[in-house]
Amino acid sequence: MAIFCVIKFTMFISVLDLFKVGIGPSSSHTMGPMVAANAFLSDVRHFIETNPSNNGYHVRCTLKDSLAYTGVGHATDRAVVLGLNGFLPNTIIDENMDEVIDRTWNSKTIEINDDMQANFFAEEDIIFDTRNSLKQHPNGIVFELLDKSDNLLISNTYFSIGGGFISTLEEIDNVEAPIAAEPSSAYPFPFDNSDQMLEMSKEHNKTIWEMKQANELENIPEKILNQELDKIWNAMKTCVERGLTTEGILPGGLNTKRRAKQLHESLQNDKENAGSSDWLCAYAMAVNEENAAGHMVVTAPTNGAAGVVPATLYYYYKHKAATPEQIRQFLLSASAIGGLIKHNSSISGAEVGCQGEVGSASSMAAAGLCAARGGTSEQIENAAEMALEHHIGMTCDPVKGLVQVPCIERNGFGAVKAYTASSLSLRESGEHLISLDQCIAAMKRTGLDMSNKYKETSLGGLAVSFIEC
């Protein structure tokens, strides 16, 4: 199964696509551009094979809008170099990334194939264009293949649409809403909004995770699905525990000190006074410190919000003895909600602000925890709605374009809200005034109304306040 691929616009989004193992610091600004660069490399290889020439080649990349504004802080330029060298976020984890990047910078070339190189002067050929927007999405990337006289041979435009997903220009222009590219009959439970989800759950007497599992089993055997879910959980668990045992200063120039290790040690030494909020913050901050360092994380649903779901799940595992079956139920339920949000709104901070990242993650974590604790479908939907509702309007204004302030602490608060929403919903019937569908729609409208200054450009909010101070 190809985990990293160009997204097909369908209402079904696999749990294995929503939760992807990759590297920090950003799914939209690091992982997506790497996937796009890798896809372009494949097209270049095909072009050269079918149009052989000895005239030489030159590759150029232009980053647009949010990618241009915060690309340096999010390591977008490094991601492009890695992708053009044939790497993907899940294949670069064990490689020496600095070595690959230094080699490209120094040689001023990229390897097209065994006997062909293209000129690539990274300092000049990665262009940060903040003036010329692309109307389709704020995370646009244009790759060009030129001959030695700089005549254009190929031009491909990609959009990094959040969570490590990419779309081509052709795909994004052909999409309405977005709509499902596959017929609904392709899956036994084809819900694309929460009302449908609840109706199907009631009609078929199935939990949300059972319906999600049934949909997944159309494409993958149950044994393999469980193995992949366990891999996702193990990667999340590893990330939490690495963050809890690592100290030092995060890269980027803010001199942000890692805090999770010290916080965790403090809690261990004072367990009587340690509440759930304290533990959740420690676990979430551990993950996002790892993300900010450029280490291995799992998109959940993005890197900027990568700590919320793992922290909530780790708390349930560590403090409430969650079973492997409950962990899988958590992940399946969380991904069902994440798929609804992505399909009907956005999980991209550059598109709708942090409400689409930490807000979506908190909603997913609340649903997953509620499901694992035995909640009804109505209670799960209620938990997801409450968590998302209390993130509506949240801006994405990273200081210096880095995923450190306010991102690291914000993941902790997102996990706390998720836990709270789950607990509240389990004490009630699931009946509530605002539906999850209405909340998702409100989030989308709020994102459309939000100034671009507050959507991952570092042109407003905390980013500007920090500079002024």
* β pairing state of 109-113 and 116-119: antiparallel
Cα 90 from Cα 322, distance rounded (Å): 27
Q: Phi and psi at residue 257, in whole multiples of 5°?
A: -85, 135
pLDDT in tens, 263-287: 999 999 999 999 999 999 999 999 9
Determine the topology of domain 15-173 in CATH. 60s Ribosomal Protein L30; Chain: A; (3.30.1330)
Q: Which residues 6+ apart lie within 8 Å of 4 measured at CB? A: 20, 22, 31, 35, 38, 88, 89, 90, 164
| Residue 462 half-sphere exposure toward CB, CA atoms < 13 A | 18
Cα 284 from Cα 298, distance rounded (Å): 12
Cα 73 from Cα 71, distance rounded (Å): 6
Q: Which pLDDT score is estimated for 11?
A: 65
Cα 63 from Cα 143, distance rounded (Å): 9
| Residue 61 DSSP SS3 | strand
Report residue 467's pLDDT band, with 50, 70 and 90 as the boundaries: low
Cα 287 from Cα 412, distance rounded (Å): 10
Mean pLDDT of 376-385: 98
Q: Which region among 140-154, 168-182, 264-278, 421-435 has the lowest average model confidence (pLDDT)?
A: 168-182
Mean pLDDT of 450-458: 96
Question: Which helix (H) or strand (E) element contains residue 267?
Answer: helix 260-269
pLDDT in tens, 87-146: 999 999 888 999 999 999 999 999 998 888 999 999 999 999 999 999 999 999 999 999
Report the sign of the C-alpha dihedral through residues 396, 398, 401, 402, in that order. Answer: negative
- Residue 227: CB atoms within 10 Å: 11
DSSP-derived secondary structure for 344-392 = HS---HHHH-GGGTHHHHHHHHHHHHHHHTT--HHHHHHHHHHHHHTTT
Report residue 176's pLDDT band, with 50, 70 and 90 as the boundaries: very low
Kindly list the domain boundaries of the chain, sorted by start residue: 15-173, 187-468
- Which residues lie across from 128 on neighbouring strands? 63
Cα 173 from Cα 405, distance rounded (Å): 35
Q: Tokens 């994380």 — which residue?
A: 297
Q: Which pLDDT score is estimated for 55?
A: 81
Residue 154 confidence (pLDDT) above 80: yes
Q: Answer with the residue of higher pLDDT: 447 or 54.
A: 447
pLDDT in tens, 13-44: 999 999 999 999 999 999 999 999 999 999 99
Cα 14 from Cα 1, distance rounded (Å): 11
- Which residues lie across from 144 on neighbouring strands? 60, 155
* Average pLDDT of the chain, as a whole number: 93
- By 3-state DSSP, what share of the chain in percent is helix, strand and coil, each rounded to 5? 55, 10, 35
The predicted model scores a pTM of: 0.92
Q: Answer with the residue of higher pLDDT: 291 or 175.
A: 291
Report residue 183's pLDDT band, with 50, 70 and 90 as the boundaries: very low
Q: Which residues 6+ apart lie within 8 Å of 428 measured at CB? A: 379, 382
Cα 251 from Cα 257, distance rounded (Å): 10
Could you give the angle at which helices 407-426 and 308-320 cross, rounded to 10 degrees?
50
* End-to-end Cα spacing for the chain: 49
Residue 7 confidence (pLDDT) above 60: no
